[in-house]
């Protein structure tokens, strides 16, 4: 599949949302009928610690403009997964810098099942970032 996103001007945002916290949190935003940018794509994940470093780089390479990892934070049902995730992310940031990718394109945050305001805030913030930065350009691609 080609790696250029269609409709580049929109800038696509990938959201990794935990099954027990952030994903129901996004549903709660829906139940409140609070609108947010439509260039957002939510993947339901059990724990974002599943994704290896290269997954994030691959996403940017494919044309994803921004990634928000919405975890459970301290509420994580898997004891220790959040810490594993946070250290993994430090390495991803190093790799992003090497690729001359603005690290604001990747954000880790905690969203609870009723954190509507926080969800909207994160999405709008990231949307601002991707509109400002435009499509990702990798140094080595």
- DSSP letter for 10, please: G
Spatial distance between the Cα atoms of 99 and 74, rounded to a whole number of angstroms: 31
Check residue 87 for interaction with another protein (CB under 8 A).
no
The smaller minimum CB distance to another protein, of residues 64 and 126, is found at: 64
Beta strands in the chain (DSSP E): 12-18, 40-45, 64-71, 106-110
Do residues 124 and 37 make contact, with C-beta atoms less than 8 angstroms apart? yes
How far from chain centre, in Å, is Cα 113? 17
Q: Is 117 left (phi over 0), alpha (psi -120 to 50) or beta?
A: alpha
When binding is defined by CB under 8 A, the residue of 73, 99, 114, 131 that contacts another protein is 114
Stretch of 75-83, 97-105, 126-134 contacting another protein, by CB under 8 A: 75-83
Q: Is 79 in the site for another protein (CB under 8 A)?
A: yes
Please give the distance of CA 93 from its chain centroid, rounded to a whole number.
13
Query: Shortest approach of another protein to residue 103 CB, angstroms?
Result: 19
Q: Segment near another protein (CB under 8 A), from 24-32, 101-109, 126-134? A: 24-32
57 binds another protein (CB under 8 A): no
Cα–Cα–Cα angle for 81, 39, 132, rounded to 5 degrees: 90
SS3 67: strand
Residue 29 binds another protein (CB under 8 A): yes
Stretch that binds another protein, among 20-28, 100-108, 126-134 (CB under 8 A): 20-28
Residues that bind another protein (CB under 8 A): 1-6, 12, 14, 20, 24, 26-27, 29-31, 33-36, 38, 41-47, 49-52, 55, 58-59, 62-64, 75, 77-81, 84, 88, 113-114
């Amino acid at each position: 599949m080609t790696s250029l996103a269609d409709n580049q001007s929109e800038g696509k945002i990938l959201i990794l949302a935990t099954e027990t916290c952030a994903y129901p949190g996004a549903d709660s935003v829906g139940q409140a009928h609070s609108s947010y940018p439509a260039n957002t794509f939510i993947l339901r994940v059990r724990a974002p610690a599943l994704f290896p470093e290269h997954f994030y780089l691959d996403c940017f390479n494919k044309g994803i403009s921004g990634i928000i990892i919405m975890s459970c934070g301290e509420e994580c049902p898997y004891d220790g997964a959040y810490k594993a995730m946070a250290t993994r992310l430090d390495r991803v940031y190093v790799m992003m810098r090497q690729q001359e990718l603005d690290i604001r394109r990747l954000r880790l945050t905690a969203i609870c099942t009723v954190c509507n305001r926080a969800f909207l805030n994160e999405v709008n913030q990231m949307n601002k970032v991707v509109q400002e930065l435009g499509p990702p350009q990798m140094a080595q691609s």
